[in-house]
């Protein structure tokens, strides 16, 4: 991990350009450099420039075929897109998760109490709490961290901004505290749990799965607990 200053130098030096090309296309490198630098700078201003940070991204998704069939044990064809939610994150050494999303109020979740909070249903803090809750139920590690996020997946756009946010939070807990051992399918299921139970929205699993697994995928939901996923090769 790098400090804020080290990360800014690496972005300027082009060390992340290959990742930006893979994620966003060759014509977006300069735009993404500035976008990530702004996020890193904002993290430093809020949480400290000497913190050791990691960059994260979770994409929105588009539905190619199978509208709502994930609710009905059917099949879907879905794809991640190059609009995403990015985060700059650092372990905090305490038992509190703080997430500052650009343009929104700071979300604070104390990990000592992960019970469902009726007054928080429908809010992003409920998703954070729900994901941490499910991590502990599955015997994965959790811990506090601070994060600054920026989203190009507009709310209400039909591109699953909530699923991208869930996958992002799950990925941060996965890589900051579990060494990346929680696989993409489990991250998607954890996101769905958070949305169903804590956020109080009855959603299927397609949105989270498309964001977490990435690329173009077909999913057979004959058994929703054991979805059959196939990557689709494409240019």
Q: Could you give the residue ranges of the DSSP H alpha helices within the chain?
A: 4-12, 17-24, 29-47, 124-137, 161-177, 184-193, 206-213
Of residues 207, 220, 223, 235, which has the active-site annotation? 207
Q: Scanning the structure block, which residue is given the tokens 């999303």?
A: 101
In 3-state terms, what secondary structure has residue 194?
helix
In 3-state terms, what secondary structure has residue 133?
helix
Which one, of 89, 91, 117, lies nearest residue 101 by Cα? 89
Which one, of 136, 231, 225, lies nearest residue 189 by Cα? 225
207 an active-site residue?
yes
Q: Scanning the structure block, which residue is given the tokens 């990435």?
A: 214
Task: List residues with catalytic annotation.
Answer: 207
């Amino acid at each position: 991990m790098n400090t804020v200053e080290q990360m800014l130098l690496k972005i300027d030096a082009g060390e992340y350009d290959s990742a930006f090309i893979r994620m966003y296309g060759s014509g977006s490198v300069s735009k993404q450099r500035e976008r990530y630098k702004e996020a890193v700078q904002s993290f430093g201003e809020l949480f400290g420039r000497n913190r050791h940070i990691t960059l994260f991204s979770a994409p929105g998704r588009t539905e190619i075929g199978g509208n709502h069939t994930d609710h009905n044990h059917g099949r879907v064809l879905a794809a991640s897109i190059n609009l995403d939610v990015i985060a700059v994150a650092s372990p905090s050494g305490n038992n509190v998760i703080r997430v500052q999303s650009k343009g929104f109020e700071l979300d604070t979740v104390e990990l000592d109490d992960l019970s469902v909070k009726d007054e928080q249903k429908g809010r992003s803090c409920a998703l954070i709490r729900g994901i941490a809750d499910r991590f502990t139920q599955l015997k994965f590690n959790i811990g506090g961290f601070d994060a600054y996020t920026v989203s190009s997946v507009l709310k209400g756009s039909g591109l699953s901004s909530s699923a991208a946010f869930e996958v992002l939070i799950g990925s941060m807990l996965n890589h900051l505290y579990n060494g990346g051992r929680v696989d993409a399918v489990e991250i998607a299921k954890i996101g769905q749990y958070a949305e169903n139970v804590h956020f109080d929205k009855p959603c299927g699993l397609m949105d989270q799965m498309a964001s977490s697994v990435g690329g173009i995928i077909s999913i057979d939901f004959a058994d929703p607990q054991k979805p059959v996923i196939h990557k689709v090769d494409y240019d």
